[in-house]
Amino acid sequence: MRIIIIGSVAAGTSVAAKARRNSEECEIVIYERDRDISYSACGLPYYIGQKGIERSDLTPRDACWFKKRFNMDVRTGYEVLTIDPSKKSIEVKDHHTGEIFEDFYDKLVIATGAKPINPDITGVDNNNVFTVRNIESADKIIGYIAKTFPKKAVIIGGGYIGLELLENLVKLGIDVVLIEREKSLAGKLDRDISIYLEEYLKDKKVKFLLGEEVSEITEKKVITKSGKSIEADFVVSCTGVRPNSKLAKEIGIETFDNGAIKINHKLETSMEDIYAVGDVAMSWSIIDGAPMYVPLGSTANKMGRICGDVLTGGALRFKGILGTGIFQVFDMAVAQTGMTEAQAKNKGYDIEVIHNLKPNQTEYFEESREMVIKAIADRKSAKILGVQIVGARGVDKRIDVFVSLISMGATVDQLFHLDLAYAPPFSTTKDPVMYTGMILSNAINGKNKIITPEELIKERDDYIVIDVRSPKQYGIGHIPGAVNIPLEKLRNKAKALPNSEKYVVHCNKGVSGNAAQNIMLNMGFDCYNLSGGYKNFKIYTQLSK
């Protein structure tokens, strides 16, 4: 059997490696248009930031290595021009010589990845405008910085890559402005979580513009559609990617509206003996099976391994994704998995939403830092639908626990019963994951109802709000119209409150609010606890400013 693979970054080489591990009988050929193969594209912002990362660190394996280790033919500088499924052939151009020739396959794998979206901006093709597509594109940015010593830069796009690049350019001493056309950073997050990131960056004196679109790039300036002019010696466009599926479309392989190739559990396309893996292919949600395009190296490697197994008669099958992602900007880590609140609502779920503010470890450790966990669950099934976390430490550990649970269809009450590792340097006695389960369980079963800041603002006239913090804390800042009854006085003061009203109690983060809610409930009141307390409410009110 002759396997031809088009593309050799993450998915393509994973296909080849797994196929060879399974079988010595198949012939494996990889065609790659670029020079570099099997490289870490996710490390490019840090390579540009010159954090001691050498080019060789991102490209640890070349064509010779794959030939020696796996006995496969990796041809770099070769571009596949067309596919002819009737002849099971491809037309290839050798960019070293200009020769065009034909090759034949038994099984063909399309692993052509994704390409940057080229924004419709005047001047986007200028010599001082760059993208972050591959190592060669990163080399161009590094070379430009070394040659011209730029003082000012603009990044277009506030997604993962744009934010990671922002940090690395700032640390090089460059004055950076990030411009994002949407009204929030990291668009995969709900707005009430992205605001935590934005407030953090403001505290770091990082410059960014939201709700702005670039209309023109000149040699020394970037001009927005609203008329703002920002000085810039160079510009990096990080406006996202789209599937590089031109070859597939030309032969009628089924694709989605965004160009991603439709595949099944065996990574097969709609055309016999042709497979697709990595960023060129559409995934689907583990939760509900809906199409899901989240181009990540982790998914590409997974797809590649499964495809290599399928090609050689193995039993592995692709099960979908949750769209799990994580990135770091300076000391702030941001992670998410599963559905956002907005997505869950759009899909018609009756959801419970909570905000859990907890330290990553015992607070008497100096390095202890707070994290914010937003969790979304389905009230009907009590299953967790999605989680978003922001914080300085321990974010990766918690998001991976949630990923495992959602993947297995766990319900919220199972979170509390997890036997998680505990010692003061690593966690709190009840881990933030367990607390999240406690809050969700109590809310869903109706024992301790939660109200979000958004809901309280919309229904403010329906509730009497009781602030159970100290008078000093209340005086510094409070919810308009809230009554201050410190927790230690609540039992006596509550006796004089009308039983016919609905109440919302809150503290600063939620714990004392929960204690106050229990007092009120035990006295027969209809009472809600404010999700995330006053701190979360205050952050949320920034959204309207």
Active-site positions?
42
Q: Which amino acid is at 383?
A: K
With contact defined as beta carbons under 8 Å apart, do 249 and 241 qualify?
no
Could you tell me the maximum CA-CA distance found in the chain, to the nearest angstrom?
91
Radius of gyration of the chain (CA): 27
The 3-class secondary structure across 54-98, one letter per residue, is CHHHHCCCCHHHHHHHHCCEEEECEEEEEEECCCCEEEEEECCCC
Q: Which residue in the block uniquely carries the two structure tokens 């308009």?
A: 480
DSSP β-bridge partners for residue 336: 325, 388
For residue 107 the two structure tokens come to: 């099984």
Alpha carbon 33 to its chain's center: 28
Cα separation of 285 and 276, whole Å? 18
Can you tell me the distance from the alpha carbon of 131 to that of 159, in angstroms, rounded to the nearest whole number? 13
Virtual torsion, Cα 304, 305, 308, 309, nearest 10 deg: -150
- Torsion angle, alpha carbons of 100, 106, 110, 112, to 10: -30
What whole-number distance in Å separates Cα of residue 66 and Cα of residue 74? Answer: 7
For residue 259, the one-letter residue type is G
Distance CA 1, CA 471 (A): 78
Four-CA torsion 475, 478, 483, 487, nearest 10 degrees: -80
| Gap between the Cα atoms of 77 and 222, Å rounded | 35
Residue with tokens 């976390």, as numbered in its chain? 389
Query: Rounded to 5, what percent of the chain is helix, strand, coil?
Result: 30, 25, 40
The H-or-E segment that residue 151 falls in is: none
**Sheet harboring 384-391: ordered strands across?**
325-329, 332-338, 384-391, 370-378, 351-359
Contacts of 293 (CB under 8 A, 6+ apart): 243, 256, 258, 260, 282, 283
| Sign of the dihedral through C-alpha 31, 37, 42, 48 | negative
Taking the mean position of all CA atoms in its chain, how far away is CA 272?
Answer: 33
Listed in sequence order, the residues at least 6 apart from 377 whose beta carbon sits closer than 8 Å to its beta carbon are 351, 352, 383, 384, 385, 412, 440, 444
Place of tokens 């009110």: 541
Burial of 137 (0-12, 13-18, 19+ CB in 10 A): middle
